[in-house]
Structure 1
Amino acid sequence: MTRPKHEATEPTIPGERTATLRKPLFWAAPIVVVTLLMSLLAALYLGSILDPKGSLRNFPIAVVNQDEGDVAPGSDTRENIGNQIVDGLVSGVPADKVDLQQVGIGQAQTMLDSAEVYGAIVIPSDFTKRLMILASSSVVPGDVEKPIITVYTNPRAGTFGMGLTEAITEPALAAVNEKVGAQLSDQVAAAVGDTPVAGAARLTLANPIDALTVQYKPLPDGTGNGLSAFYYALLVILAGFTGAMIVNTLVDGMLGFAPTEFGPRYVHNPKVEISRLQTLAVKWGVMAILAPVVSGLYVWISHLLSMPLPNALGLWMYGAFAIAAVGITAMSILAVFGSAGLIINLIVFIVLGLPSAGGTLPIEATPAFFGWLAKFEPMHQVFIGIRSLLYFGGGGMAGLTHAIAMTAIGLGIGLVLGLVVTRLYDLKGFHRGVAAQPSEAPAS
């Protein structure tokens, strides 16, 4: 009985195993590489989330002042308390941490609909008028309601962003409420002279404003409280990155460039005479076929799990495009750098991608380094594209146009890198080595 020809037996050198195991580099190399990679993971992941308030910078919130003003009681002077509140908010909020953008109500709604702001503070047109009525009611009996300032949070821009918006606006509005209350109390005291003001009225005047926090266009059920876009984007990146690793290994095995193990079986196929560029083109072709299939499965599984899909076709198309772009680029990196490409891909697509994605924590609440990474890291680009399709109707202003453009740039870089370098390797004669061919061996 002889061993099948497709099953390889590698020649060995006497004493080679013992000598190899005794080399310090044999033990040090994997330990050092894994230790450094895991340390990088810990530093980046923990460093991006531990102090969001301390890392806060340029956090965008819209301020809408519709107040038309009114005449103060016992005076001919027209006042606009809304303007005073805006001035108080601007002076009371650190300008380097929060970007208060004074806009009209229409523009504020557009900014909320395109995820340009995480919230909006809206002062109504009759704000001063209601304050003056409140002041008058402390002297003249009658029914009255406190004026309301509405804070709209934007759940579609990110759940954590809602919490930060509330954490910023609540103390700022409380300080404004106290200041306006003191001003209103002084006006009433000056108007009534020695006439005492009832205790309940004094309490009302001390805190005359009701701040109401509401969600702007709440997310429907089945969105994971705004996390479904991030996890879907992560799935797309993993499909491209992990898919590229699997396709690369399987194709190399079938072409005879690398051995393949199936449990106890060790198979090394005869090498196919094919250039590096042709090999890479074959892998790209497999990924181009695989991408729309996997993207379609993602959409189908999401539908089965009752996840809202307002633009299923667009989600499938962009998902397929992004998977192909990530997979093709990852394969090019492997073709250029060899085995080291696995670590490079892991760092580029996962290690640096997750903390700079902006899917769980707003980019504005992470250290500035992650904001810089988000300008080009693939996971952030894919996330804002998926978020636009799932939460904002696929609007280009909500990030889809930017995501498509950046994904196309990434794909272009991957194609050029792979084409140029593998062609250069072929021209320079850097052909892939021929592994030892299977040999006949007597049965044991």
Structure 2
Amino acid sequence: MPERNAPEGPPQPEGTPPGGADGSGAMDGSSAARGGFLGELQDAVSFRAAFLLLGVFLVELGFVVSYLGAFHSPTPRRIPVAVVAPAQVSGQVVARLNALPGDPVRATPAPDAATARRQVLRRTVDAAFLVTPPSGAATPTDQLVVASAGGPSVAQTAAQIAQQAERAEGRAVRIVDIRPPNPADGRGLSSFYLVIGLVVGGYLGAAALGMSYGTRPANLHRVTIRLGALAVYAAVSGLAGVIVVDPVFDALGGHFFELWGIGALTVLAAAAVGMGLQVVFGQVVGIALALLVFVILGNPSAGGVYPSPLLPPFWSAIGQALPTGAATTLVRDTAYFHGHGTSLAWWVLTAWTVGGVLAAFLGALLLRGRGVLPAPAPAWPRSRGARHSRR
């Protein structure tokens, strides 16, 4: 039955777009008279669209602020350095290094050169300063032992600090790199770029599942199935990433299965967190929060381009507590340092994975209790006659 107040005029064919048969979206005379430009603006940009544009603007601004804040002026802060010096001058050398303006290093004494080198390779310090005993030479030469595979920027900065300090004392310093990056690893950034790719794949995989089947699974069985699918996806993604970084480019060779496990856990952590955020907050807000955690905050603080001692305090503090930074440390220190100094990173990455899984399950339970989620329909309905017989 036609509505009582329906406007007069010839009926339009079914499927004709609003505003005319040409699909131009132009308003008719009465609509234009009622709303004018403001009416057209309201039709063109809804409140929801304006809200989404505001969200995109905030994400864009977050990118700019976070990356520039982390990278615009790298400054050394308390780079850990082991000092080996004759007993009569050891305390003086440590005190002199710790008194440098701006507090660029944190020097501690080491008993001998072998111990100091082990500390560098076990990632407890970033450099070892070996002071040559007095020998009567016109310009005594000391050594700075570094492992640039752990972060070329830190090694170079430590070398510059040592050279300036020694020049002021009338001494020279020789740089000894005991663990440089692989020739195919360039500036030691392969671990960072591998982790970025795996993390992006993880949270985009969760977003793809949400777009295909809804961000809020109808029951706990669906949550379990989706997490299982993401676990398989993580294993395949980790394998593919290690194949690219090892056999294909030979950038991080020699630890294939260890890196595969780390890569799979990295993808699973990002996917589980991404799914948990979407279940709790919905797709749009969940994806935005995943971008905040993994990209806006995670990438610049991860220690890839500039390791933690060169980052401002905020980014240095959060870097190893986020999945991107923990995974970067795991990959780099496994590939170059036999896994030394990675225990915290393992705990952090595992905690994010478990947290994402718990968020997905608890979010589904809470939404079910509040009646937000629809009741699950039978997966395989019987014949039409069987359905009628149950009514």
Q: Which TM-score band applies after superposition, normalised by the shorter structure?
A: 0.7 to 0.9
Match of 2:54 in 1: 32
1:316-335 alignment runs, 5 A limit: 316-335=260-279
Question: How far did 1:98 drift?
Answer: 1.7
The alpha-carbon distance between structure 1 residues 360 and 25, as it changes in their structure 2 partners (threshold 3 A), is same
State the AA in 1 paired with 2:260: W
Kindly indicate whether residue 101 of structure 2 is the aligned counterpart of residue 97 of structure 1. Answer: no
Contact 2:129/2:145 (8 A) holds in 1: yes
CA distance in 2, matches of 1:289, 1:411: 14
Match of 1:308 in 2: 252
CA distance in 2, matches of 1:155, 1:238: 27
Question: How far did 1:41 drift?
Answer: 0.8
Match of 2:73 among 35, 41, 51: 51
The alpha-carbon distance between structure 1 residues 90 and 431, as it changes in their structure 2 partners (threshold 3 A), is closer
Contact 1:62/1:103 (8 A) holds in 2: yes
Match of 1:288 in 2: 231
Match of 2:163 among 170, 173, 178: 170
State the AA in 1 paired with 2:242: V
CA distance in 1, matches of 2:373, 2:90: 74
C-alpha distance after superposition, 1:156-207 (max 9, x if no partner): 2201112211221111111122xxxxxxxxxxxxxxxxxxxxxxxxxxxxxx
State the AA in 1 paired with 2:123: A
Match of 2:384 in 1: none
Indicate the SS of the match to 1:398: coil
Indicate the SS of the match to 2:119: helix
Indicate the SS of the match to 1:233: helix
CA distance in 2, matches of 1:90, 1:421: 50
CA distance in 1, matches of 2:268, 2:126: 32
1:40-439 alignment runs, 5 A limit: 40-53=62-75, 56-65=76-85, 67=86, 80=88, 84-91=92-99, 93-94=100-101, 96-104=103-111, 105-124=113-132, 127-128=133-134, 130-131=135-136, 134=137, 146-177=139-170, 209-252=171-214, 275-302=218-245, 303-339=247-283, 340-393=285-338, 395=339, 397-399=340-342, 401-432=343-374
Match of 1:197 in 2: none
Indicate the SS of the match to 1:42: helix
Q: How much is the aligned-residue C-alpha RMSD, in angstroms?
A: 2.8
C-alpha distance after superposition, 1:145-165 (max 9, x if no partner): x53201122202201112211
Indicate the SS of the match to 1:336: helix
Contact 2:150/2:333 (8 A) holds in 1: no
Match of 2:8 in 1: none
Question: How far did 1:330 drift?
Answer: 0.9
Question: How far did 1:377 drift?
Answer: 1.1
Structure 1 unaligned segments of length 5 or more: list them: 1-9, 69-79, 136-145, 178-208, 259-273, 435-444
The alpha-carbon distance between structure 1 residues 59 and 84, as it changes in their structure 2 partners (threshold 3 A), is closer
Question: How far did 1:280 drift?
Answer: 2.4
Question: How far did 1:412 drift?
Answer: 1.5
Which gives a bigger RCO, structure 1 or 2 (Cα 8 Å, sep 6+)?
A: 1
State the AA in 2 paired with 1:210: A
State the AA in 1 paired with 2:198: V
CA distance in 1, matches of 2:273, 2:44: 38
Contact 1:148/1:210 (8 A) holds in 2: yes
Match of 1:76 in 2: none
CA distance in 2, matches of 1:247, 1:175: 61
Indicate the SS of the match to 1:61: strand
CA distance in 1, matches of 2:159, 2:63: 31
State the AA in 1 paired with 2:69: G
State the AA in 2 paired with 1:34: V
Structure 2 unaligned segments of length 5 or more: list them: 1-13, 20-24, 28-38, 377-391
Question: How far did 1:24 drift?
Answer: 5.8
Contact 1:248/1:283 (8 A) holds in 2: no
Contact 1:115/1:156 (8 A) holds in 2: no
Contact 2:238/2:264 (8 A) holds in 1: yes
Contact 1:381/1:407 (8 A) holds in 2: yes
Indicate the SS of the match to 1:120: strand
State the AA in 2 paired with 1:331: M
Contact 1:63/1:102 (8 A) holds in 2: yes
State the AA in 2 paired with 1:52: P
Contact 1:89/1:176 (8 A) holds in 2: no
Question: How far did 1:22 drift?
Answer: 4.6
Contact 1:118/1:161 (8 A) holds in 2: yes
CA distance in 2, matches of 1:151, 1:217: 13
CA distance in 2, matches of 1:95, 1:117: 19
The alpha-carbon distance between structure 1 residues 349 and 89, as it changes in their structure 2 partners (threshold 3 A), is closer
TM-score, length basis structure 2: 0.79
TM-score, length basis structure 1: 0.70
State the AA in 1 paired with 2:104: K
The alpha-carbon distance between structure 1 residues 156 and 418, as it changes in their structure 2 partners (threshold 3 A), is same
Indicate the SS of the match to 1:52: coil
State the AA in 2 paired with 1:214: V
Match of 1:75 in 2: none
